[in-house]
A and B are shown apart, each in its own frame.
Chain A
Amino acid sequence: MCVMPFGFPPHVKILRTHSTDEFVNWSGSVRFIPRSQVWPANDEAVSVYVRDAAARSRKIRVAGSGHSSSPLVETPDILMSMRDHRGLIDYDLARSRATVGAGTVLHDLGPILHDIGLSMENLGDVDTQTIAGVISTGTHGSGRTLQNISATLVGLRAVTGTGEIVEWSLEKEPDLINAVRVSMGLLGIFTAVRLQLQPRYQLRRREYVARTEDCLAHLDELADAHRNFDFYWYPRRDEVKLRTLNPPGTPTPELPYAHHIHEENGHSHEIIAQERKLKFEELEYFVPAEAGPACFREVRRRILKRHRKQVGWRVLYRLIAKDDGFLSPAHGRDSVAISLHQNASLPYQDYFDDIESILRAHDGRPHWGKKHSLHGAALAALYPRWNDFVTLRQQLDPQRVFLTAPMARLLGEE
Protein backbone atom coordinates (compact mmCIF):
# COMPACT_ATOMS: atom_id res chain seq x y z
CA MET A 1 0.00 0.00 0.00
CA CYS A 2 1.38 3.39 -0.98
CA VAL A 3 0.49 6.21 1.40
CA MET A 4 0.92 9.80 0.37
CA PRO A 5 1.11 12.55 2.97
CA PHE A 6 -2.34 13.61 4.16
CA GLY A 7 -2.75 16.73 2.10
CA PHE A 8 -3.71 19.38 4.61
CA PRO A 9 -1.57 21.32 7.10
CA PRO A 10 -2.03 20.41 10.75
CA HIS A 11 -2.82 23.91 11.96
CA VAL A 12 -6.27 25.35 11.66
CA LYS A 13 -6.45 27.69 8.73
CA ILE A 14 -9.68 29.43 7.94
CA LEU A 15 -10.39 31.50 4.90
CA ARG A 16 -13.55 33.48 5.32
CA THR A 17 -15.33 36.00 3.19
CA HIS A 18 -18.33 38.01 4.29
CA SER A 19 -19.81 38.20 0.90
CA THR A 20 -22.94 39.51 -0.68
CA ASP A 21 -22.23 37.41 -3.75
CA GLU A 22 -25.26 35.57 -5.00
CA PHE A 23 -24.96 31.82 -5.39
CA VAL A 24 -26.41 30.63 -8.70
CA ASN A 25 -26.56 26.95 -9.57
CA TRP A 26 -25.53 25.57 -12.95
CA SER A 27 -28.97 25.82 -14.54
CA GLY A 28 -29.75 29.22 -13.02
CA SER A 29 -32.94 28.26 -11.18
CA VAL A 30 -31.50 28.14 -7.62
CA ARG A 31 -30.37 31.55 -6.38
CA PHE A 32 -29.71 32.91 -2.92
CA ILE A 33 -27.34 35.18 -1.04
CA PRO A 34 -25.70 33.47 1.98
CA ARG A 35 -24.37 35.45 4.91
CA SER A 36 -20.89 34.22 4.05
CA GLN A 37 -19.13 31.89 1.66
CA VAL A 38 -16.15 30.05 3.10
CA TRP A 39 -13.59 27.49 2.03
CA PRO A 40 -11.84 25.97 5.06
CA ALA A 41 -8.28 24.87 4.49
CA ASN A 42 -8.41 21.64 6.49
CA ASP A 43 -10.66 19.38 8.55
CA GLU A 44 -9.97 21.24 11.78
CA ALA A 45 -11.15 24.45 10.16
CA VAL A 46 -14.34 22.73 9.03
CA SER A 47 -14.86 21.65 12.63
CA VAL A 48 -14.36 25.19 13.91
CA TYR A 49 -16.99 26.49 11.52
CA VAL A 50 -19.48 23.79 12.54
CA ARG A 51 -18.98 24.33 16.29
CA ASP A 52 -19.33 28.07 15.79
CA ALA A 53 -22.50 27.63 13.76
CA ALA A 54 -23.98 25.28 16.36
CA ALA A 55 -23.28 27.80 19.10
CA ARG A 56 -24.87 30.63 17.11
CA SER A 57 -27.81 28.58 15.73
CA ARG A 58 -26.60 29.15 12.21
CA LYS A 59 -26.87 26.89 9.19
CA ILE A 60 -24.13 25.46 7.02
CA ARG A 61 -24.51 23.86 3.64
CA VAL A 62 -21.74 22.68 1.36
CA ALA A 63 -21.82 23.44 -2.36
CA GLY A 64 -19.90 21.22 -4.74
CA SER A 65 -19.97 22.36 -8.34
CA GLY A 66 -23.48 23.75 -8.05
CA HIS A 67 -24.91 21.24 -10.50
CA SER A 68 -27.98 20.33 -8.45
CA SER A 69 -31.20 22.10 -9.33
CA SER A 70 -33.06 21.33 -6.11
CA PRO A 71 -32.35 23.67 -3.16
CA LEU A 72 -29.92 21.29 -1.44
CA VAL A 73 -27.28 23.93 -0.78
CA GLU A 74 -29.55 26.88 -0.08
CA THR A 75 -28.66 28.48 3.26
CA PRO A 76 -29.23 31.86 4.88
CA ASP A 77 -25.90 31.64 6.70
CA ILE A 78 -22.75 29.81 5.67
CA LEU A 79 -22.14 28.30 2.26
CA MET A 80 -19.03 26.15 2.41
CA SER A 81 -16.84 25.03 -0.45
CA MET A 82 -14.40 22.14 -0.24
CA ARG A 83 -12.17 23.61 -2.92
CA ASP A 84 -9.18 23.22 -0.59
CA HIS A 85 -9.99 19.53 -0.08
CA ARG A 86 -9.02 18.24 -3.49
CA GLY A 87 -6.72 15.62 -4.93
CA LEU A 88 -5.31 12.21 -4.10
CA ILE A 89 -4.63 11.41 -0.45
CA ASP A 90 -3.68 7.70 -0.52
CA TYR A 91 -4.28 4.58 -2.54
CA ASP A 92 -4.10 0.79 -2.38
CA LEU A 93 -3.52 -0.83 -5.75
CA ALA A 94 -3.91 -4.36 -4.41
CA ARG A 95 -7.50 -3.60 -3.38
CA SER A 96 -8.16 -1.03 -6.14
CA ARG A 97 -9.02 1.65 -3.60
CA ALA A 98 -8.09 5.30 -3.26
CA THR A 99 -8.85 8.15 -0.88
CA VAL A 100 -9.39 11.59 -2.38
CA GLY A 101 -10.39 15.00 -1.13
CA ALA A 102 -14.16 15.47 -1.01
CA GLY A 103 -14.02 18.54 -3.23
CA THR A 104 -12.22 16.78 -6.07
CA VAL A 105 -14.03 17.38 -9.35
CA LEU A 106 -14.75 14.23 -11.38
CA HIS A 107 -13.19 15.73 -14.49
CA ASP A 108 -9.91 16.01 -12.56
CA LEU A 109 -10.33 12.74 -10.70
CA GLY A 110 -10.30 10.59 -13.85
CA PRO A 111 -6.74 11.53 -14.87
CA ILE A 112 -5.54 11.42 -11.24
CA LEU A 113 -6.74 7.85 -10.85
CA HIS A 114 -5.58 6.87 -14.32
CA ASP A 115 -2.04 7.96 -13.45
CA ILE A 116 -1.93 5.47 -10.56
CA GLY A 117 -3.52 2.68 -12.60
CA LEU A 118 -7.12 2.97 -11.35
CA SER A 119 -10.50 4.12 -12.68
CA MET A 120 -13.99 4.66 -11.39
CA GLU A 121 -16.45 1.89 -12.19
CA ASN A 122 -18.88 4.30 -13.79
CA LEU A 123 -19.68 7.98 -14.26
CA GLY A 124 -22.80 9.96 -14.93
CA ASP A 125 -23.58 11.79 -18.14
CA VAL A 126 -21.35 14.71 -17.11
CA ASP A 127 -18.23 14.94 -14.95
CA THR A 128 -18.40 18.51 -13.72
CA GLN A 129 -19.56 17.60 -10.19
CA THR A 130 -17.43 17.00 -7.11
CA ILE A 131 -17.00 13.44 -5.86
CA ALA A 132 -18.75 14.33 -2.59
CA GLY A 133 -21.61 15.86 -4.55
CA VAL A 134 -22.29 12.82 -6.70
CA ILE A 135 -22.05 10.49 -3.70
CA SER A 136 -24.35 12.65 -1.60
CA THR A 137 -27.10 12.91 -4.22
CA GLY A 138 -27.12 9.37 -5.63
CA THR A 139 -25.82 10.42 -9.02
CA HIS A 140 -25.45 7.52 -11.44
CA GLY A 141 -24.54 6.33 -14.88
CA SER A 142 -26.25 3.49 -16.74
CA GLY A 143 -25.74 -0.24 -16.88
CA ARG A 144 -27.86 -3.15 -15.70
CA THR A 145 -25.13 -4.45 -13.36
CA LEU A 146 -23.71 -1.07 -12.33
CA GLN A 147 -24.75 0.68 -9.12
CA ASN A 148 -24.82 4.41 -8.60
CA ILE A 149 -21.56 6.15 -7.74
CA SER A 150 -22.34 6.35 -4.02
CA ALA A 151 -22.18 2.55 -3.84
CA THR A 152 -18.43 2.74 -4.41
CA LEU A 153 -17.95 4.60 -1.11
CA VAL A 154 -16.04 2.35 1.29
CA GLY A 155 -14.86 4.90 3.81
CA LEU A 156 -14.75 8.57 4.61
CA ARG A 157 -13.55 11.33 6.84
CA ALA A 158 -16.23 13.82 7.86
CA VAL A 159 -17.20 16.49 10.33
CA THR A 160 -20.51 15.85 12.07
CA GLY A 161 -23.02 18.46 13.23
CA THR A 162 -21.31 18.62 16.62
CA GLY A 163 -17.98 19.47 15.02
CA GLU A 164 -16.52 16.03 15.69
CA ILE A 165 -14.07 14.79 13.09
CA VAL A 166 -14.86 11.13 12.34
CA GLU A 167 -13.49 8.38 10.15
CA TRP A 168 -15.85 5.59 9.13
CA SER A 169 -15.23 2.51 7.01
CA LEU A 170 -17.44 -0.09 5.40
CA GLU A 171 -15.61 -2.82 7.29
CA LYS A 172 -16.07 -1.26 10.74
CA GLU A 173 -19.28 0.76 10.40
CA PRO A 174 -21.30 -0.76 7.53
CA ASP A 175 -24.61 0.73 8.67
CA LEU A 176 -23.13 4.22 8.95
CA ILE A 177 -21.60 3.96 5.51
CA ASN A 178 -24.92 2.83 4.05
CA ALA A 179 -26.63 5.76 5.75
CA VAL A 180 -24.10 8.33 4.66
CA ARG A 181 -23.83 7.20 1.02
CA VAL A 182 -26.74 9.33 -0.19
CA SER A 183 -27.19 11.78 2.66
CA MET A 184 -27.20 15.22 1.03
CA GLY A 185 -24.82 16.62 3.62
CA LEU A 186 -27.30 15.99 6.44
CA LEU A 187 -25.11 13.63 8.49
CA GLY A 188 -21.83 15.45 8.18
CA ILE A 189 -19.51 17.37 5.91
CA PHE A 190 -17.35 15.00 3.89
CA THR A 191 -13.73 16.04 3.82
CA ALA A 192 -12.24 12.90 2.23
CA VAL A 193 -13.80 9.83 0.63
CA ARG A 194 -12.37 6.35 0.09
CA LEU A 195 -13.58 4.71 -3.11
CA GLN A 196 -13.74 1.16 -4.42
CA LEU A 197 -12.30 1.45 -7.90
CA GLN A 198 -11.19 -0.79 -10.75
CA PRO A 199 -7.87 -1.25 -12.49
CA ARG A 200 -7.85 1.34 -15.25
CA TYR A 201 -9.64 0.22 -18.38
CA GLN A 202 -10.62 1.21 -21.88
CA LEU A 203 -14.08 1.55 -23.36
CA ARG A 204 -15.56 1.67 -26.82
CA ARG A 205 -18.60 3.87 -27.32
CA ARG A 206 -21.00 2.91 -30.09
CA GLU A 207 -24.20 4.81 -30.78
CA TYR A 208 -27.12 4.00 -33.04
CA VAL A 209 -30.41 5.53 -34.17
CA ALA A 210 -33.49 3.31 -34.14
CA ARG A 211 -37.27 3.36 -34.17
CA THR A 212 -38.70 3.61 -30.68
CA GLU A 213 -40.71 0.39 -30.98
CA ASP A 214 -37.65 -1.54 -32.17
CA CYS A 215 -35.70 -0.30 -29.16
CA LEU A 216 -38.45 -1.30 -26.75
CA ALA A 217 -38.82 -4.71 -28.37
CA HIS A 218 -35.09 -5.40 -27.80
CA LEU A 219 -34.68 -3.60 -24.49
CA ASP A 220 -33.80 -6.65 -22.41
CA GLU A 221 -31.20 -7.98 -24.78
CA LEU A 222 -29.64 -4.52 -25.15
CA ALA A 223 -29.40 -4.20 -21.38
CA ASP A 224 -27.84 -7.67 -21.07
CA ALA A 225 -25.43 -7.39 -23.97
CA HIS A 226 -23.69 -4.15 -23.05
CA ARG A 227 -21.69 -3.07 -20.01
CA ASN A 228 -23.31 0.33 -20.20
CA PHE A 229 -26.53 0.88 -22.07
CA ASP A 230 -29.05 3.71 -22.16
CA PHE A 231 -31.18 5.48 -24.72
CA TYR A 232 -32.41 8.91 -25.55
CA TRP A 233 -35.91 9.34 -26.89
CA TYR A 234 -36.54 12.39 -29.06
CA PRO A 235 -40.13 13.62 -28.73
CA ARG A 236 -40.06 15.68 -31.93
CA ARG A 237 -39.11 12.59 -34.00
CA ASP A 238 -40.42 9.72 -31.89
CA GLU A 239 -37.14 7.87 -32.40
CA VAL A 240 -34.25 6.89 -30.13
CA LYS A 241 -30.50 7.05 -29.90
CA LEU A 242 -29.02 3.87 -28.38
CA ARG A 243 -25.78 4.42 -26.49
CA THR A 244 -23.55 1.45 -25.65
CA LEU A 245 -20.18 1.16 -23.90
CA ASN A 246 -18.05 -1.97 -23.78
CA PRO A 247 -14.39 -2.90 -23.32
CA PRO A 248 -12.80 -2.96 -26.78
CA GLY A 249 -12.88 -6.43 -28.25
CA THR A 250 -16.01 -7.48 -26.38
CA PRO A 251 -18.26 -9.39 -28.78
CA THR A 252 -21.60 -7.63 -29.02
CA PRO A 253 -24.60 -8.52 -31.14
CA GLU A 254 -25.32 -6.76 -34.40
CA LEU A 255 -28.33 -4.44 -34.31
CA PRO A 256 -29.97 -4.91 -37.71
CA TYR A 257 -32.88 -2.68 -36.72
CA ALA A 258 -30.56 0.26 -35.88
CA HIS A 259 -28.37 2.63 -37.85
CA HIS A 260 -24.82 2.99 -36.54
CA ILE A 261 -23.91 6.68 -36.26
CA HIS A 262 -20.92 7.08 -33.94
CA GLU A 263 -17.94 5.27 -32.47
CA GLU A 264 -15.03 6.28 -30.27
CA ASN A 265 -12.48 4.49 -28.11
CA GLY A 266 -10.43 5.64 -25.15
CA HIS A 267 -9.79 5.61 -21.43
CA SER A 268 -12.98 5.03 -19.44
CA HIS A 269 -12.98 8.48 -17.83
CA GLU A 270 -12.70 10.11 -21.25
CA ILE A 271 -15.44 8.04 -22.88
CA ILE A 272 -18.26 7.75 -20.33
CA ALA A 273 -18.99 11.40 -19.54
CA GLN A 274 -20.11 13.86 -22.19
CA GLU A 275 -19.69 17.60 -22.42
CA ARG A 276 -22.90 19.56 -21.85
CA LYS A 277 -22.73 23.30 -22.38
CA LEU A 278 -26.38 24.02 -23.03
CA LYS A 279 -28.20 24.72 -19.77
CA PHE A 280 -31.31 22.73 -18.94
CA GLU A 281 -33.67 21.89 -16.11
CA GLU A 282 -34.23 18.25 -15.33
CA LEU A 283 -36.70 15.99 -13.55
CA GLU A 284 -35.66 12.40 -12.90
CA TYR A 285 -37.32 9.48 -11.14
CA PHE A 286 -36.13 5.96 -10.42
CA VAL A 287 -38.83 3.36 -10.97
CA PRO A 288 -38.48 -0.39 -10.34
CA ALA A 289 -36.67 -1.95 -13.30
CA GLU A 290 -39.62 -4.15 -14.17
CA ALA A 291 -41.87 -1.08 -14.37
CA GLY A 292 -39.46 0.85 -16.60
CA PRO A 293 -40.77 -0.06 -20.07
CA ALA A 294 -44.45 0.49 -19.19
CA CYS A 295 -43.65 3.73 -17.40
CA PHE A 296 -41.63 4.99 -20.35
CA ARG A 297 -44.43 4.10 -22.77
CA GLU A 298 -46.87 6.14 -20.71
CA VAL A 299 -44.47 9.07 -20.49
CA ARG A 300 -43.96 8.90 -24.23
CA ARG A 301 -47.71 8.84 -24.92
CA ARG A 302 -48.32 11.79 -22.60
CA ILE A 303 -45.55 13.91 -24.12
CA LEU A 304 -46.73 13.21 -27.66
CA LYS A 305 -50.30 14.05 -26.68
CA ARG A 306 -49.79 17.12 -24.49
CA HIS A 307 -46.28 18.51 -24.52
CA ARG A 308 -44.73 18.20 -27.95
CA LYS A 309 -45.62 21.79 -28.79
CA GLN A 310 -43.22 23.14 -26.17
CA VAL A 311 -40.78 20.31 -25.58
CA GLY A 312 -37.99 19.54 -28.00
CA TRP A 313 -35.57 17.99 -25.52
CA ARG A 314 -34.98 14.30 -25.24
CA VAL A 315 -36.02 11.89 -22.51
CA LEU A 316 -33.22 9.74 -21.07
CA TYR A 317 -33.75 6.10 -20.00
CA ARG A 318 -31.02 4.57 -17.84
CA LEU A 319 -30.48 1.38 -15.81
CA ILE A 320 -29.10 1.22 -12.26
CA ALA A 321 -28.42 -1.86 -10.12
CA LYS A 322 -29.85 -1.94 -6.60
CA ASP A 323 -27.81 -0.96 -3.55
CA ASP A 324 -28.10 -0.62 0.23
CA GLY A 325 -27.86 3.14 0.71
CA PHE A 326 -30.61 4.17 3.13
CA LEU A 327 -31.76 7.03 0.90
CA SER A 328 -30.38 5.80 -2.38
CA PRO A 329 -33.11 6.00 -5.03
CA ALA A 330 -32.00 2.49 -6.05
CA HIS A 331 -32.27 1.19 -2.48
CA GLY A 332 -33.24 -2.47 -2.55
CA ARG A 333 -34.40 -2.59 -6.13
CA ASP A 334 -32.87 -2.65 -9.60
CA SER A 335 -34.08 0.55 -11.18
CA VAL A 336 -34.75 2.45 -14.35
CA ALA A 337 -34.17 6.19 -14.22
CA ILE A 338 -36.33 8.26 -16.55
CA SER A 339 -35.34 11.89 -16.89
CA LEU A 340 -36.94 14.83 -18.67
CA HIS A 341 -35.12 17.91 -19.84
CA GLN A 342 -36.19 21.36 -20.85
CA ASN A 343 -34.18 24.39 -21.92
CA ALA A 344 -33.35 26.42 -18.82
CA SER A 345 -34.66 29.48 -20.65
CA LEU A 346 -38.13 27.97 -21.23
CA PRO A 347 -41.01 27.18 -18.85
CA TYR A 348 -40.74 23.68 -17.42
CA GLN A 349 -43.02 23.45 -14.37
CA ASP A 350 -46.29 22.36 -16.04
CA TYR A 351 -44.41 19.78 -18.08
CA PHE A 352 -42.54 18.37 -15.10
CA ASP A 353 -45.64 18.37 -12.87
CA ASP A 354 -47.65 16.43 -15.40
CA ILE A 355 -45.02 13.77 -16.07
CA GLU A 356 -44.08 13.53 -12.39
CA SER A 357 -47.56 12.19 -11.71
CA ILE A 358 -46.87 9.27 -14.10
CA LEU A 359 -43.48 8.56 -12.57
CA ARG A 360 -44.98 8.57 -9.08
CA ALA A 361 -47.76 6.23 -10.16
CA HIS A 362 -45.05 3.73 -11.09
CA ASP A 363 -43.62 3.83 -7.56
CA GLY A 364 -40.89 6.24 -8.58
CA ARG A 365 -38.34 7.86 -6.29
CA PRO A 366 -36.98 11.28 -7.27
CA HIS A 367 -33.35 12.13 -7.88
CA TRP A 368 -32.37 14.27 -4.90
CA GLY A 369 -30.40 16.79 -6.93
CA LYS A 370 -33.00 17.46 -9.61
CA LYS A 371 -36.43 19.07 -9.72
CA HIS A 372 -39.20 17.24 -7.88
CA SER A 373 -42.16 18.08 -5.66
CA LEU A 374 -41.92 15.46 -2.89
CA HIS A 375 -41.17 15.98 0.78
CA GLY A 376 -41.86 14.56 4.22
CA ALA A 377 -44.30 11.69 4.45
CA ALA A 378 -44.47 11.19 0.68
CA LEU A 379 -40.74 10.50 0.62
CA ALA A 380 -40.70 8.53 3.85
CA ALA A 381 -43.17 6.07 2.34
CA LEU A 382 -40.70 5.31 -0.46
CA TYR A 383 -37.73 4.39 1.69
CA PRO A 384 -37.77 1.39 4.08
CA ARG A 385 -34.92 2.85 6.14
CA TRP A 386 -36.19 6.43 6.22
CA ASN A 387 -36.74 6.46 9.98
CA ASP A 388 -33.29 5.02 10.62
CA PHE A 389 -31.81 7.82 8.59
CA VAL A 390 -33.78 10.51 10.42
CA THR A 391 -32.80 9.06 13.79
CA LEU A 392 -29.16 9.07 12.79
CA ARG A 393 -29.44 12.62 11.51
CA GLN A 394 -30.79 13.73 14.87
CA GLN A 395 -27.90 12.02 16.66
CA LEU A 396 -25.16 13.37 14.43
CA ASP A 397 -26.55 16.90 14.05
CA PRO A 398 -28.62 17.62 17.18
CA GLN A 399 -28.32 21.39 16.76
CA ARG A 400 -29.63 21.17 13.17
CA VAL A 401 -26.58 22.93 11.75
CA PHE A 402 -27.07 21.22 8.38
CA LEU A 403 -30.88 21.24 8.46
CA THR A 404 -31.86 24.40 6.62
CA ALA A 405 -35.51 25.21 5.99
CA PRO A 406 -35.61 23.48 2.57
CA MET A 407 -33.91 20.41 4.00
CA ALA A 408 -36.21 20.32 7.05
CA ARG A 409 -39.18 20.46 4.70
CA LEU A 410 -37.67 17.68 2.59
CA LEU A 411 -37.29 15.42 5.63
CA GLY A 412 -40.59 16.42 7.22
CA GLU A 413 -38.79 17.86 10.24
CA GLU A 414 -40.19 21.40 10.04
Chain B
Amino acid sequence: MLKAIGAKVWAIPGGHMPLLSSGAEPRDTSRDELCVLNAGHLNVQVELTIYYEDREPVGPYRLKVAAQRVRHMRFNDLIDPQALPLDTPYAVLLVADHPVVVQFTRHDTSQPANAIATTLAFAG
Protein backbone atom coordinates (compact mmCIF):
# COMPACT_ATOMS: atom_id res chain seq x y z
CA MET B 1 0.00 0.00 0.00
CA LEU B 2 1.30 3.44 -0.95
CA LYS B 3 2.35 5.49 2.03
CA ALA B 4 0.37 8.74 2.31
CA ILE B 5 2.31 11.49 0.61
CA GLY B 6 2.36 15.24 1.03
CA ALA B 7 2.20 17.57 4.01
CA LYS B 8 -0.39 18.98 6.36
CA VAL B 9 0.55 22.65 5.96
CA TRP B 10 0.91 24.49 2.66
CA ALA B 11 1.28 28.13 1.66
CA ILE B 12 0.47 29.97 -1.57
CA PRO B 13 1.75 33.55 -1.36
CA GLY B 14 0.93 34.77 -4.87
CA GLY B 15 -2.85 34.75 -5.15
CA HIS B 16 -4.43 37.28 -7.52
CA MET B 17 -7.59 36.59 -9.55
CA PRO B 18 -7.72 38.67 -12.74
CA LEU B 19 -10.78 40.87 -13.01
CA LEU B 20 -11.36 40.47 -16.72
CA SER B 21 -12.14 37.36 -18.72
CA SER B 22 -12.51 36.60 -22.40
CA GLY B 23 -13.94 33.58 -24.16
CA ALA B 24 -16.75 31.26 -23.13
CA GLU B 25 -17.49 31.12 -19.44
CA PRO B 26 -17.17 29.26 -17.15
CA ARG B 27 -14.55 27.34 -19.17
CA ASP B 28 -12.52 30.45 -19.89
CA THR B 29 -13.17 32.47 -16.75
CA SER B 30 -10.00 34.05 -15.37
CA ARG B 31 -9.35 32.31 -12.09
CA ASP B 32 -7.06 31.00 -9.41
CA GLU B 33 -7.53 27.31 -8.85
CA LEU B 34 -6.58 25.03 -6.00
CA CYS B 35 -5.86 21.35 -6.61
CA VAL B 36 -5.61 19.03 -3.61
CA LEU B 37 -4.53 15.40 -3.92
CA ASN B 38 -5.44 13.10 -1.08
CA ALA B 39 -3.65 9.87 -1.90
CA GLY B 40 -4.22 8.52 1.59
CA HIS B 41 -6.92 6.20 2.84
CA LEU B 42 -8.64 8.68 5.14
CA ASN B 43 -10.95 11.55 4.24
CA VAL B 44 -9.21 14.87 4.76
CA GLN B 45 -10.62 18.07 6.22
CA VAL B 46 -8.90 21.15 4.83
CA GLU B 47 -9.04 24.67 6.24
CA LEU B 48 -7.91 27.71 4.28
CA THR B 49 -7.03 31.10 5.69
CA ILE B 50 -6.82 34.03 3.26
CA TYR B 51 -4.31 36.82 3.91
CA TYR B 52 -4.43 40.32 2.41
CA GLU B 53 -2.09 43.30 2.16
CA ASP B 54 -4.28 45.73 4.05
CA ARG B 55 -6.79 43.85 6.23
CA GLU B 56 -7.08 41.05 8.73
CA PRO B 57 -7.01 37.42 7.56
CA VAL B 58 -10.35 35.78 6.70
CA GLY B 59 -11.24 32.18 7.38
CA PRO B 60 -11.50 29.34 7.84
CA TYR B 61 -12.80 28.23 4.45
CA ARG B 62 -13.50 24.53 4.88
CA LEU B 63 -13.49 21.80 2.29
CA LYS B 64 -13.32 18.04 2.33
CA VAL B 65 -11.22 15.83 0.11
CA ALA B 66 -12.28 12.21 0.10
CA ALA B 67 -9.77 9.40 0.49
CA GLN B 68 -7.82 8.66 -2.69
CA ARG B 69 -9.42 11.55 -4.54
CA VAL B 70 -8.34 14.82 -6.05
CA ARG B 71 -10.36 18.01 -5.71
CA HIS B 72 -10.18 21.10 -7.88
CA MET B 73 -11.67 24.31 -6.60
CA ARG B 74 -11.80 27.87 -7.88
CA PHE B 75 -10.99 30.60 -5.38
CA ASN B 76 -13.41 32.76 -7.38
CA ASP B 77 -16.28 30.57 -6.16
CA LEU B 78 -15.60 30.78 -2.43
CA ILE B 79 -18.23 32.68 -0.44
CA ASP B 80 -18.15 30.98 2.96
CA PRO B 81 -17.30 32.80 5.13
CA GLN B 82 -16.71 35.60 2.58
CA ALA B 83 -16.20 36.08 -1.14
CA LEU B 84 -12.63 36.91 -2.12
CA PRO B 85 -12.26 40.12 -4.14
CA LEU B 86 -10.98 39.85 -7.70
CA ASP B 87 -7.99 41.91 -8.82
CA THR B 88 -6.61 41.97 -5.28
CA PRO B 89 -3.41 40.36 -4.01
CA TYR B 90 -3.91 37.62 -1.45
CA ALA B 91 -2.17 34.62 0.01
CA VAL B 92 -3.40 31.27 1.24
CA LEU B 93 -2.45 29.13 4.20
CA LEU B 94 -3.82 25.59 3.92
CA VAL B 95 -3.95 23.28 6.92
CA ALA B 96 -5.12 19.69 6.50
CA ASP B 97 -5.67 17.02 9.14
CA HIS B 98 -3.79 14.44 7.06
CA PRO B 99 -1.06 14.81 4.44
CA VAL B 100 -2.09 16.11 1.02
CA VAL B 101 -0.35 17.50 -2.05
CA VAL B 102 -1.35 21.00 -3.13
CA GLN B 103 -1.00 22.63 -6.53
CA PHE B 104 -1.97 26.15 -7.52
CA THR B 105 -2.95 27.25 -11.02
CA ARG B 106 -3.84 30.61 -12.53
CA HIS B 107 -5.88 30.88 -15.71
CA ASP B 108 -5.59 34.42 -17.01
CA THR B 109 -7.93 35.14 -19.90
CA SER B 110 -7.81 38.92 -19.51
CA GLN B 111 -6.83 38.98 -23.16
CA PRO B 112 -7.75 36.41 -25.82
CA ALA B 113 -4.19 35.08 -25.91
CA ASN B 114 -4.80 33.56 -22.50
CA ALA B 115 -2.15 32.28 -20.13
CA ILE B 116 -1.89 29.46 -17.65
CA ALA B 117 0.65 29.33 -14.84
CA THR B 118 0.89 26.51 -12.33
CA THR B 119 3.11 25.55 -9.44
CA LEU B 120 3.26 23.32 -6.43
CA ALA B 121 2.42 25.21 -3.27
CA PHE B 122 5.08 25.61 -0.56
CA ALA B 123 4.93 22.74 1.90
CA GLY B 124 5.36 23.82 5.51
Contacts and interface: CB of A to CB of B under 8 A. Distances in A.
Interface of A: 234, 236-239, 278, 308-313, 343, 345-346
A234 B88 CA distance: 20
A237 B76 contact: yes
A312 B84 contact: yes
Interface residues on B, range: 10 to 19
Contacts of B19: 308-309
A234 B26 CA distance: 10
22 contacts: A234-B26, A234-B77, A236-B29, A236-B74, A236-B76, A236-B77, A237-B26, A238-B25, A238-B26, A238-B29, A239-B25, A309-B87, A310-B83, A311-B83, A312-B76, A312-B78, A312-B79, A312-B83, A343-B79, A345-B81, A345-B82, A346-B82
Q: 9 closest A-B pairs (Cβ-Cβ)?
A: A312-B83, A237-B26, A238-B25, A236-B76, A309-B86, A312-B79, A343-B82, A239-B26, A278-B80
B121 to A, nearest CB: 22
Interface in B54-100: 74, 76-88
Most buried by B among A234, A236, A237, A311: A236
B81 to A, nearest CB: 7
B97 to A, nearest CB: 22
A310 B88 CA distance: 10
A346 B81 contact: no
Contacts of B83: 236, 310-313, 343, 346
Nearest to B77: A236
Nearest to A212: B25
Given A308-B19, A309-B86, A312-B76, A237 B29 contact: yes
Interface string B21-34: 00001100100000
A238 B21 CA distance: 11
A309 B25 CA distance: 16
Nearest to A277: B80
Given A238-B26, A345-B82, A346-B82, 6 more contacts: A236-B86, A308-B19, A309-B19, A309-B86, A311-B83, A312-B78
Nearest to A314: B79
Contact of A278 (B79, B85, B87): B79
A233 to B, nearest CB: 11
A311 B29 CA distance: 15
A309 B29 contact: no
Most buried by A among B78, B83, B88: B83
Nearest to B82: A343
A238 B74 CA distance: 14
A280 B68 CA distance: 35
Contacts of B87: 309
A313 B84 CA distance: 11
A301 B62 CA distance: 31
A98 to B, nearest CB: 37
A237 B25 contact: yes
A270 B103 CA distance: 39
Contacts of B86: 236, 308-309
Contact of B77 (A237, A343, A345): A237
A27 to B, nearest CB: 14
A14 to B, nearest CB: 41
Contacts of A234: 26, 77
Contacts of B84: 312
A313 to B, nearest CB: 6
Given A308-B19, A308-B86, A313 B26 contact: no
A341 B84 CA distance: 15
Contacts of A311: 83
Nearest to B29: A237
Contacts of A239: 25-26
Contacts of B76: 236-237, 312
A344 B24 CA distance: 31
Contacts of A343: 79, 81-83
Contacts of B80: 278
Nearest to A239: B26
A314 to B, nearest CB: 9
